[in-house]
Amino acid sequence: MTPEKRIQRALDQGTAIHPQYRKEFSNGVSFAWSRVPWTLGCCSMWTEEARKTHYKTLCAVDNRLVLAGEHASYVGCWQEEAILSALDAVTRLHKRALGAA
């Protein structure tokens, strides 16, 4: 869709829930994350196969390298999981620093 069409679609969908949506709307911006070089999307997507093969390795503490973020979680594209991933990574790092893992 063109940016204008995307905004119209969003207005249509919003109106289905909030009838006053269009009346209160003043401005809109539409952005295709998948077309941004180096980003190519707004968050990570795992296939079942990739998850099975690579997820544990991605999340493992590797010497001084520890990854955390929405990409290292089971619910991608969400702040909650990014935070839980960070807490998990810090907890594992702490255990390792104490020599427990």
From 1, 32, 36, 42, residue interacting with ligand FAD (rule: CB under 6 A): 42
Please state, in angstroms and rounded to a whole number, the distance separating the CA atoms of residues 60 and 22.
Answer: 48
Q: Which residues pair with 62 in a beta bridge?
A: 65
Query: Counting contacts by CB under 6 A, is residue 58 touching ligand FAD?
Result: no
Query: Counting contacts by CB under 6 A, is residue 43 touching ligand FAD?
Result: yes
Query: Counting contacts by CB under 6 A, is residue 78 touching ligand FAD?
Result: yes
CA angle 65, 50, 76 (to 5 degrees): 70
Residues that bind ligand FAD in the complex, under the rule CB under 6 A: 42-43, 69-70, 77-80, 82
